[in-house]
Amino acid sequence: MGRRAEATVHVELVERAMRGDRDAFTSIAASSADRCYALAYRILRDPHRAQDATQQALLGAWRDLPTLRDPDRFDAWLHRLVVHACYVEARAERRWVARVRVLPIERDIDPDVARSVAARDELESAFRQLSPEHRAVVVLHHHLGYSLAEIADSLGIPAGTARSRLHHAVHRLRLVLNATDRQGVPSEERMA
Amino acid sequence: MNRYDELFDIRIADWLEGDPELAPAQVLETVRAALPSVPQRRVARAPWRVPMVLRVGFATAAIVIGVAIGAGLVGQPSGNVGGSPSPSPSPSATISATATPRAGIPTSGLVTFTSEVHGYTIGYPGEWDVRPATRKLDGTETPWDYSPAIDHFSTPTDRFGDPAGGPLGALIVGSAVVGPEVTLESWTVDTAVLVCGPPTAPEAVEVDGEPASLLTYSICNHAFHQWVTVLHGGSAYHIIWLGESGARAFDRALFEDILATFSFPPEPSATPTPS
């Protein structure tokens, strides 16, 4: 389940960037951009929003880097900035309602492929119904492999809150997927 | 965890695994290009604190702000920070009386600045640095202090790379074209409250005769914020002061002095001139 996020940023680079070294921060950004984008995309489910969130998080990191107390914790700190940038992006689009209709599967498609695509679509649809806060804990836990304590630490929330959010999110996903299975066809969904 | 739970967790993880891993090249290009214009905060003025961004009750905030704005519109404004002076005492006058000067913040001799992008005119201390906007804000886009969509005024000591450091003081002004459905309350909640959370005591004020909302945050994104939102002529404005929590009284007085000079661009005449 998931995978551990590797600390790819060298502490020496972080310390240089904290002292205002732009080249050092550019190196940090180069080695972190993919990881930040991957996290943002999984939360926001939109490439453009994910791109904006990644940029905001990286520039925010540069701006606030001197306030980072422990350079060893740069990666967790950056993840927090990305998640918060995702919250802002998601809220900004909350009035936009996507109306997605799952089209009937063509008869000549391999049934296994069709089932796989349909399963992914169902998960996508169910996941989009979660709030950004709930999406974040699901991604941190199931994709990055964070423990509940690490999620709490990374997001700056109590461990109990992290636990309840994850529990609620997974419970909600199951409910939606079960309902979809019963109905056969998912209908409309709501973004963020 | 039972077998069903395990299978469901694996299903989620596998699904997430299929998402993109690589950032578009524009991400890094944009960050590299913007970096020189983004000043770093200094530790001395930025006590560590986790921003409480968005972990707030937006509905509650909207109610509180709505009440404050409504009170300002129906009754006497609590603080007239622009336009004609108010004859009644206001909270801002009390705060001003207790203000003490801050070393390193020159405030004498306001000079006039007219924004080519946003159209307004404002006075600012002539010694300060100015970085004019190159475009308008896009809807509820956040007016970050490094955004090209805001006019940025900062104290000389607030520049990045200043070895002597100095107190933080910066003024941010930006605007976006908005539709008739946007109200002062919705604009405030969708921008300031979204970024900084609900304020403890939103105030109904006036800016150049327009009803406005003034939100004060002891700390938001590592800085003291006084955030004014106001609508005029089909545009919605942000006028934001960034300072230090410890200099709250001084910052409030200075912010009011600057706001009192703010004037909106004249609205185009509704009736065409006969030829």
pLDDT in tens, B235-272: 999 999 887 656 677 778 888 888 999 999 877 655 55
To the nearest whole angstrom, how far is the Cα of B13 from the nearest Cα of chain A? Answer: 5
Q: What is the largest CA-CA distance in chain B?
A: 83
3-state secondary structure of A143: coil
Q: Which of A88, A91, A138 sits opposite B12 (nearest CB)?
A: A138
Partner A, chain B 158-197, Cβ-Cβ below 8 Å: 160-161, 190, 194-195
- For residues A148-163, give the mean pLDDT: 82
Residue in B14, B28, B154 to test binding to A, most A beta-carbons within 10 Å: B28
pLDDT level of residue B207 (50, 70, 90 thresholds)? very high
pLDDT level of residue B80 (50, 70, 90 thresholds)? very low
Q: How is residue B120 written in tokens? A: 């307004």
Query: How many A×B Cβ pairs under 8 Å?
Result: 134
Between CA A85 and CA A75 the distance in angstroms is 15
- For residues A64-93, give the mean pLDDT: 84
Q: How is residue B107 written in tokens? A: 């405030």
Of A94, A191, A152, nearest in space to B50 by CA: A152
pLDDT level of residue A162 (50, 70, 90 thresholds)? confident
3-state secondary structure of A141: helix
Q: Do the Cβ atoms of B30 and A55 come within 8 Å?
A: yes
Amino acid at A29: A
pLDDT digits (tens, 9 = 90+) for A99-150: 344 445 555 666 666 666 677 778 888 898 888 889 999 999 999 889 888 8
Handedness of CA A88, A94, A99, A105 (dihedral sign): positive
B220 forms beta bridges with B223
pLDDT digits (tens, 9 = 90+) for B46-60: 332 323 333 333 444
**Taking CB atoms and an 8 Å cutoff, what residues of chain B touch A173?**
8, 12
Between CA B16 and CA B31 the distance in angstroms is 26
Between CA A61 and CA B16 the distance in angstroms is 25
pLDDT at A46 over 80: yes
Q: Do the Cβ atoms of B23 and A37 come within 8 Å?
A: yes
Q: Which of A1, A30, A88 sits opposite B194 (nearest CB)?
A: A88
**Taking CB atoms and an 8 Å cutoff, what residues of chain B touch A22?**
35-36
Which is higher by pLDDT, A1 or B89? A1
pLDDT at residue B44, rounded to an integer = 41
Residue A64 and residue B46 in contact, taking contact as beta carbons nearer than 8 Å: yes
pLDDT digits (tens, 9 = 90+) for B105-130: 555 678 899 999 999 999 988 888 88
Q: Do the Cβ atoms of B31 and A41 come within 8 Å?
A: no
B217 forms beta bridges with B225
Q: Do the Cβ atoms of A1 and B53 come within 8 Å?
A: no
Burial of A183 by CB count in 10 Å (0-12 exposed, 13-18 middle, 19+ buried)? exposed
**Taking CB atoms and an 8 Å cutoff, what residues of chain B touch A142?**
9, 12-13, 16
Q: How is residue A147 written in tokens? A: 């423990």
Residue B146 and residue B38 in contact, taking contact as beta carbons nearer than 8 Å: yes
Torsion from C-alpha of A38, B197, A65, B226, nearest 10 degrees: 140
pLDDT level of residue A98 (50, 70, 90 thresholds)? very low
The secondary structure of chain B, three-state, reads: CCHHHHHHHHHHHHHHHCCCCCCCHHHHHHHHHHHHHCCCCCHHHCCCCCCCCCCCCHHHHHHHHHHHHHHHHHCCCCEECCCCCCCCCCHHHHHHHCCCCCCCCCCCCEEEEECCCCCCEEEEECCCEEECCCCCCCCCCCCCCCCCCCEEEECHHHCCCCCCCCCCCEEEEEEEECCCCCCHHHHHHHHHHHHHCCCCCCEEEEECCEEEEEEEEEEECCEEEEEEEEEECCEEEEEEEEECHHHHHHHHHHHHHHHCCCECCCCCCCCCCCC
Cβ–Cβ contact B221 with A under 8 A: yes
Residue A144 and residue B17 in contact, taking contact as beta carbons nearer than 8 Å: no
Pairing state between β B151-154 and B110-114: unpaired
Residue B65 and residue B189 in contact, taking contact as beta carbons nearer than 8 Å: yes
pLDDT digits (tens, 9 = 90+) for B17-29: 888 889 999 899 9
**Taking CB atoms and an 8 Å cutoff, what residues of chain A touch B140?**
92
pLDDT digits (tens, 9 = 90+) for B248-258: 777 788 888 88
Residue A165 and residue A152 in contact, taking contact as beta carbons nearer than 8 Å: no
Residue A69 and residue B48 in contact, taking contact as beta carbons nearer than 8 Å: yes
Q: What is the DSSP letter of A107?
A: T
Of A137, A133, A135, A119, nearest in space to A177 by CA: A119
Which is higher by pLDDT, B170 or B176? B176
Mean pLDDT over the full length of chain A: 79
Q: How is residue B26 written in tokens? A: 């524009």
Helices (H), chain A: 11-18, 22-44, 47-64, 74-92, 111-128, 132-142, 148-155, 159-183
